[in-house]
Amino acid sequence: MENQTLLTIEDLSVQFVSAGIRTTALSGLSLTAKEGEILAVVGASGAGKSLLAHAVLGLLPKNAQVTGRMTYKGQVLNEKTLPRLRGKEITLIPQSVTYLDPLMPVGRQVYYPMNKQEGRAKTAALFEEYGLSPEVMKKYPFELSGGMTRRVLFSAAVLSGAKLLLADEPTPGLSRETARHVLRHLRAFAKEGRAVLLITHDLDLAVECADRVAVLYAGTLLETAPACDFAADGAALRHPYSQSLWNALPQNGFHPVTGNMPSPGERVESCPFAPRCPKKTALCREKPVPLRPLRGGTVRCIHAT
């Protein structure tokens, strides 16, 4: 049986209007997430990764204008449907520790949606799996280290039983070993038929644990590729930016690319990577570059083969 597509995003764009100025934060983004898979979303900070997660959850600020279409199990995601689904079917593991209530012991924050006895037992078991001692249940957020807090937030998401999990940078602050442990849990989550959207700047880890990798740059999607295409010198990858990203890793050559990612105010219609791209030609600057399917993935580059 073919795994069901849980999340479909078609041509999603997000613009912010403030003081009469319109800036495009995300544009023309199309993605799917299926049951049983981990889809990693990678890119530099400011590329739009967290924004994408917030758009899927309907948690964008009020001055955001969203166009395009998002569906969950065929049901359109909008202001009406999202509040019903959020926290039950679709859940976020937040990036920031400020999501915890500073005045409540963390154990209770993890299990409060459940009945006390069952919740407490399950939380204790999860805490143990994550290497948190039972005393942590009674601690307040300010008493925890960053890594511990992340493990607490993770336990809460696991316990919610959601079908679509959005993990926003779940691993920094964790040692490699603990990070791998967390990712093994994401894998277990996927094996149970859930879909995991793993948002991370850590390409290493994404490639190691995800099934597919989506590469964001300057608010748009440049490529989706099977994780196994990130190998050797990156020749199997479709987009020059993905190749550069891969070859910049310390173990793969550590090659920097000069220049910066354009900020939202400076975004152009044509290829956003053109100013830094080693393969650009005059054609690249002429018109918007569409996202197209290629070799079992997608790419936004006119010269990709």
Partner 1 sequence: MEEGERVGLIGPSGCGKSTLAKVLSGMLCPQAGEVRLDEKPLPKKGYRPVQLIFQHPEQAVDPKWRMEQILNEGYFPDRDLLNALGIEKEWLIRYPRELSGGELQRFCIARALGPKTRFLLCDEISTMLDPITQAQLWELLLHCSEKRGMGLLVITHNRALAERVCTRIVKFEDLNGKGEETHAKK
Q: How far apart are CA 80 and CA 98, in angstroms?
A: 27
Given 68, 87, 119, 173, the residue binding partner 1 (CB under 8 A)? 173
What values do phi and psi take at 200, rounded to 5? -155, 155
Q: Which 3 state secondary structure label does DSSP give 233?
A: coil
Q: Which is nearer to partner 1, 84 or 255 (CB)?
A: 255
Residue type, 225: A
> 188-207: which residues touch partner 1 (CB under 8 A)?
201, 203
Beta bridge partners, 217, equal 220
Among 246, 277, 280, 300, binds partner 1 (CB under 8 A): 246
**Distance, C-alpha 243 to centroid of its chain:** 19
Q: Which letter, b or e, does each residue of 38-61 get, where b requires 16 or more Cβ atoms within 10 Å of its Cβ?
A: bbbbbbeebbbbbbbbbbbbbebe
Is 96 a binder of partner 1 (CB under 8 A)?
no
Stretch that binds ligand SF4, among 123-131, 161-169, 176-184, 266-274 (CB under 6 A): 266-274
Say how far apart CA 40 and CA 201 lie, in whole Å: 10
Whether the CB-CB separation of 227 and 212 falls below 8 Å is answered with yes
Q: Nearest approach, Cβ of 286 to partner 1 (angstroms)? A: 26
301 binds, among ligand SF4, partner 1, none (CB under 5 to 8 A by kind): ligand SF4
Structure tokens at 42: 């990678």
Q: How far is the CB of 179 from partner 1 (least distance, A)?
A: 9
Residue of the chain from 142, 258, 290, 293 that contacts partner 1 (CB under 8 A): 258
Q: Binding of ligand SF4 at residue 280 (CB under 6 A)?
A: yes
DSSP for residue 299: E
Q: Can you state the angle between helices 146-160 and 116-129, rounded to 10 degrees?
A: 130
CB of 48 to partner 1, least distance (A): 11
| Of 10-18, 108-116, 245-253, 287-295: span binding partner 1 (CB under 8 A) | 245-253
DSSP, res 163: S
Query: To the nearest whole angstrom, how small is the minimum distance from the Cβ of residue 260 to ligand SF4?
Result: 16
Q: How far is the CB of 235 from ligand SF4 (least distance, A)?
A: 15
For residue 142, what is the DSSP state? G
271 binds ligand SF4 (CB under 6 A): yes
- Cα separation of 163 and 33, whole Å? 11
State how far the Cα of 165 lies from the Cα of 160, in Å rounded to an integer.
10
- Binding-residue pattern over the window 18 to 37 for partner 1, x denoting contact by CB under 8 A: --------------------
> Which of ligand SF4, partner 1, none has residue 284 at its interface (CB below 5 to 8 Å by kind)?
ligand SF4
Reported as half-sphere exposure (CB side, CA atoms, 13 A), residue 195 has a value of 20
Report how far apart, in Å, the C-alpha atoms of 14 and of each of 71, 96, 239 are.
Answer: 16, 22, 23
Q: By C-beta, is 53 or 277 nearer to ligand SF4?
A: 277
Determine, following the binding rule CB under 6 A, whether residue 166 of this chain makes contact with ligand SF4.
no
Candidates 18-26, 228-236, 247-255, 272-280; binding stretch for ligand SF4 (CB under 6 A): 272-280
Residue ranges in contact with ligand SF4 by CB under 6 A: 240, 271, 273-274, 277, 279-280, 284, 289, 301-303
Residues binding partner 1 (CB under 8 A): 42-47, 145, 147, 172-178, 201, 203, 244-246, 248-251, 254-261, 263
